[in-house]
């Protein structure tokens, strides 16, 4: 029940941020739409008996990880930009396996999305224990960089997960 109320309040806060018009009628419409949304979500929860996705991450480490990831994205972008603009494209395409050590689904998702977010590497398929990754200019360092990223993503999962 507490969870439902919190969801409704979060939705309403989001609505307030998006709307920007605070006349009584409009605000009541916002209240109504968030209540309807929560009702529909609850019905869907009852219909599909799937597990709830629990978000358990270390907040400070997560923020640090985002800054590190931004720098990585910048570096990778520069590498791919040089590749695109060079007159003779020296591609070294390769498909290889990267093992992951995250325990939760969320951790694995963050790792796979981080791989895809840095241009030059794309996670293609998820297998038991490792991702299939495609690189456009493969070199031996890629493996080290990805296992470094893997370690960092595993570090933002809290121990209780």
Q: Are 120 and 136 within 8 A, CB to CB?
A: yes
Token pair in block for residue 155: 């570090």
Q: Would you count residue 10 as binding other proteins (CB under 8 A)?
A: no
DSSP assignment of 77-104: HHHHHHHHHSSS---B-EEEEEE----S
29, 124, 130, 148: residue in contact with other proteins (rule CB under 8 A): 124
C-beta of 120: minimal distance to other proteins in Å? Answer: 6
Which one of the spans 33-41, 72-80, 100-108, 143-151 is the region binding other proteins (CB under 8 A)?
A: 72-80
C-beta of 33: minimal distance to other proteins in Å? Answer: 15
Q: Would you count residue 134 as binding other proteins (CB under 8 A)?
A: yes
CA–CA separation, 135 and 79 (whole Å): 12
CA–CA separation, 138 and 38 (whole Å): 47
C-beta of 87: minimal distance to other proteins in Å? Answer: 10
Token pair in block for residue 129: 């224990």
**Segment 50 to 69, residues that bind other proteins, using CB under 8 A:** none
Q: Would you count residue 88 as binding other proteins (CB under 8 A)?
A: no
Q: Would you count residue 120 as binding other proteins (CB under 8 A)?
A: yes
């Amino acid at each position: 029940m507490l969870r439902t109320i919190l969801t409704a309040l979060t939705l309403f806060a989001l609505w307030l941020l998006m709307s920007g018009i605070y006349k009584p009628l409009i605000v009541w419409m916002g209240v109504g739409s968030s209540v309807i949304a929560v009702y529909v979500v609850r019905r869907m929860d009852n219909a599909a008996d799937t597990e709830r996705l629990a978000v358990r991450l270390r907040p400070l480490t997560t923020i640090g990880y985002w800054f590190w990831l931004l720098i990585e994205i910048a570096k990778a972008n520069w590498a791919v930009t040089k590749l695109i603009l060079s007159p003779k494209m020296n591609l070294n395409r390769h498909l290889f396996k990267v093992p992951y050590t995250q325990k939760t689904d969320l951790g694995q998702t963050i790792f796979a999305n981080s791989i895809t977010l840095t241009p030059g590497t794309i996670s293609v398929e998820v297998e038991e224990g490792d991702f299939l990754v495609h690189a456009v200019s493969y070199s031996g360092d890629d493996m080290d960089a990805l296992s470094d990223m893997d370690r960092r993503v595993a570090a933002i999962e809290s121990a209780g997960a």
